[in-house]
Structure 1
Amino acid sequence: MEPDVIWEVLRPQPLLTDQLYGEWAAFLALAENKTETANHLRRFDEQRPAGQHHALTLARVDGQLVGVAETQVPRSHDKAGWYTLSLSVHPDWQGGELSQTLLSRAENQLPPDAAVVLATVREGEWQMAFLEAQGFAEYERMWTSTLDLQALSPIDFQHHTERAQQAGLRVLPLSEVADLSNESEQRRLYALMIHLLSEVPFAEPITPWPFETWKSRILDAPEFDAQGFFVLLSPAGEWIGVSELYRPDPSKLSTLHQGLTGVRREWRGLGGAWLLKLTAAAQAKARGYAAANTTNHTGNAPMLAINERMGFVRQQARVGLRREMRA
């Protein structure tokens, strides 16, 4: 017999209570083995534009959370009628009637214009088979990989860096090439980032954030580190590429996250990506970090090849699913 379930819907605008953020983070650790923090969940809500759809559907049994479904506007695909959904269910009830009801109730919270619903799941986890049975289909796949920095020997790849240097390319920390208190410098970096992201082979092109949103979510974020953000310079001093290292998650203080590494298309083939990746890795190793992780789309064969040769080890894939809500 199914337990007596108490259902609740929350719309975290302006914000949830500290107690609820803490309960939510603890539940994600139990249900998803996800090392999320209450502060991180709160910051996501603080960054959300006023009035933008965001709903949490909660299921409780005997006062304890057993299910959470979140619907919101995708951070990278802010298109009319597009929403994203995530399901987290207590291990004792995953995939059963409670999961089905949770999904149905969460979808009922979507605005009337909902046309496409996206979900990102880990390959092999229960959500993948469950959502595919509900009509979701895979549209993209991403690899998360981790590099053991202490085992990395940059000298083994010296021929790649020498090739870039012979072409007149240089890599410097952003802190040495830009005054980020100056808005014009901020916008220069923003323009480069948007251009580089437009050249990443996403299965679905991303929707660029407005400058103010990007500044709030990237430059003003506590994990942003101008010394760990590297810029590739042309012989004339143009900014032609980047590699991002972000300060670690509080739950994994020895592991940095490497975000975008990219080089403008017209400057590729000269070893610039290698110079960026190896410079960032060497700096992270020198600062005492044990590992760096990154995520790449399966269609980004050149970057995946570099990562594999450097020693990045692939982990569980993240799979993007989508379902059309109407014709």
Structure 2
Amino acid sequence: MTVIVRDLRTTEPADTAAFADVRGRALPFLVSTPEAVVHDAAHAVPEAHVGHLVAEADGEVIGTAQLGIAHDSPVPGQGYLNVYVHPERVRRGAGSLLVRAAEERLAAAGATRLFSWVLDTPDDRAFAERRGYTGSRSAHFLRLDLASGTLPPLREPPAGVELRTVADFADDPRPLFALDAETTADEPSDVGAELDDYEQWLAGTFRHPLLDHALSTVVVVDGTPAAFTAAHTDGGARYSTGMTGTARAFRGRGLAKLAKNDSLHRARAAGYTEAFTGNDAGNGPMIAINKWFGYEVCATEVRHVRELD
């Protein structure tokens, strides 16, 4: 059996479906679709050097890699690669070939430091360490049973506070961009991000096919968007929190809980049965909020880093 690595063919539905399927099998707590894969590839800015690779064996896609440069980081040369192999097709060399190809492309694009999320299992961590990667911060995947679990009861918003949806801002999303930019800047991460391109945000985030405008809740205080939760859905039964955040001036008032509880209740009413989210392991306040909702950790990833010569 010969394994080859090639670029994803984003114009071929069967190829993008295979890409999404392999990634979904390797990370069953990730909500994605072939349409989302195509969108991500189509709306990447040139300076991000985004790439999607597949490992193919005898005509079957058995592994995937996403790679790029964190162009929105204030620190130059920060590259990333995330490699996943079909759980029933491991130990055939696909992961090694994908890592090597991705590293070569990132080095050619000017990367000096590489970051990769690795599942916190002995085999996955050993694979990364053999290739010169060192573990750093960790993050959890969490799952909530929406079908039979018990959500906290809905409560009436305080005076001056309104619950709206992202759909309500369709005519002018700029206030949401400002809120997203501020909260993203404060997210715990090895690679910081600064959102400063409104048009790119519109194309890559606001119009992303996973973002459910009707289920994403925005908390408005005295007319100002103060907190939000972005709901990602796959059009089936799976719901995922893409981001939850509160503007600095409004923190400590329970607004993130208010937003998330509203969105989760409406998602359950719409027929979604599973909810997923992710948390940096050091983000104690958000972990506490998610445990309050009933989320349970279902997997952990460790960010690994490699310095290039």
TM-score, shorter chain, exceeding 0.5: yes
* Aligned-residue offset at 1:88: 3.4
CA 1:96 to 1:275, structure 2 compared with 1: closer, same or farther past 3 Å?
A: same
CA contact (8 A) 1:121 1:127 kept: yes
* Aligned-residue offset at 1:103: 2.9
CA contact (8 A) 2:31 2:240 kept: no
CA 1:170 to 1:18, structure 2 compared with 1: closer, same or farther past 3 Å?
A: closer
CA contact (8 A) 1:242 1:262 kept: yes
User: What is aligned with 2:234?
Assistant: 249
For 1:27 and 1:172, locate their aligned partners in 2 and report how far apart those are by CA, in whole Å: 36
* Aligned-residue offset at 1:74: 4.3
CA contact (8 A) 2:73 2:193 kept: yes
For 1:304 and 1:123, locate their aligned partners in 2 and report how far apart those are by CA, in whole Å: 18
Q: Does residue 78 of structure 2 align to residue 82 of structure 1?
A: yes
User: What is aligned with 1:17?
Assistant: 12
User: What is aligned with 1:175?
Assistant: 167
CA contact (8 A) 2:32 2:210 kept: no
CA contact (8 A) 1:87 1:127 kept: no
CA 1:41 to 1:209, structure 2 compared with 1: closer, same or farther past 3 Å?
A: farther
CA 1:95 to 1:323, structure 2 compared with 1: closer, same or farther past 3 Å?
A: farther
CA contact (8 A) 2:115 2:303 kept: yes
User: What is aligned with 2:301?
Assistant: 318
* SS, match of residue 208 in structure 1: coil
For 1:321 and 1:41, locate their aligned partners in 2 and report how far apart those are by CA, in whole Å: 24
- Spell out, residue by residue over 1:137-161, the C-alpha distance to the aligned partner (whole angstroms, 9 max, x if none): 2232221212223422433xx7xx4
1:267 is aligned, of 244, 250, 264, to 250
CA 1:215 to 1:89, structure 2 compared with 1: closer, same or farther past 3 Å?
A: same
2:270 is aligned, of 287, 291, 309, to 287
* SS, match of residue 152 in structure 1: coil
User: What is aligned with 1:73?
Assistant: 69
* Count of residues in correspondence between the two structures: 306
Q: Does residue 177 of structure 2 align to residue 197 of structure 1?
A: no
Superposition map of 1:156-171 within 5 A:
161=155, 165=158, 168-171=160-163
For 2:27 and 2:261, locate their aligned partners in 1 and report how far apart those are by CA, in whole Å: 33
CA 1:282 to 1:75, structure 2 compared with 1: closer, same or farther past 3 Å?
A: farther
* Aligned-residue offset at 1:79: 5.3
CA 1:128 to 1:18, structure 2 compared with 1: closer, same or farther past 3 Å?
A: same
User: What is aligned with 2:111?
Assistant: 114
Partner AA of 1:244 in structure 2:
A
1:151 is aligned, of 125, 130, 149, to 149
CA contact (8 A) 1:94 1:126 kept: no
For 1:294 and 1:30, locate their aligned partners in 2 and report how far apart those are by CA, in whole Å: 17
For 2:267 and 2:90, locate their aligned partners in 1 and report how far apart those are by CA, in whole Å: 39
Partner AA of 2:12 in structure 1:
T
CA 1:242 to 1:35, structure 2 compared with 1: closer, same or farther past 3 Å?
A: closer
TM-score, normalising length from structure 2?
0.83
* Aligned-residue offset at 1:324: 1.0
* Aligned-residue offset at 1:188: 1.7
User: What is aligned with 2:39?
Assistant: 43
CA contact (8 A) 1:85 1:118 kept: yes
Partner AA of 1:249 in structure 2:
D
Q: Does residue 200 of structure 2 align to residue 213 of structure 1?
A: yes
- Spell out, residue by residue over 1:5-42, the C-alpha distance to the aligned partner (whole angstroms, 9 max, x if none): 35454376xx4534433443455456666775433322
Deviates more, 1:212-221 or 1:77-86: 77-86
| CA root-mean-square deviation | 3.2
* Aligned-residue offset at 1:276: 1.6
Structure with the greater alpha carbon radius of gyration: 1
Partner AA of 1:174 in structure 2:
V
CA 1:39 to 1:300, structure 2 compared with 1: closer, same or farther past 3 Å?
A: same
* Aligned-residue offset at 1:316: 0.3
User: What is aligned with 1:225?
Assistant: 212
For 1:75 and 1:126, locate their aligned partners in 2 and report how far apart those are by CA, in whole Å: 31
1:307 is aligned, of 263, 283, 290, to 290
For 2:86 and 2:268, locate their aligned partners in 1 and report how far apart those are by CA, in whole Å: 38
* Aligned-residue offset at 1:315: 1.0
* Aligned-residue offset at 1:288: 2.8
Q: More helix per residue: 1 or 2?
A: 1
Deviates more, 1:133-142 or 1:29-38: 29-38
CA 1:264 to 1:48, structure 2 compared with 1: closer, same or farther past 3 Å?
A: closer
Partner AA of 1:229 in structure 2:
S
CA contact (8 A) 2:181 2:195 kept: yes
For 2:295 and 2:138, locate their aligned partners in 1 and report how far apart those are by CA, in whole Å: 17
CA contact (8 A) 2:8 2:54 kept: no
* Aligned-residue offset at 1:47: 1.3
For 2:263 and 2:86, locate their aligned partners in 1 and report how far apart those are by CA, in whole Å: 39
CA contact (8 A) 1:169 1:272 kept: no
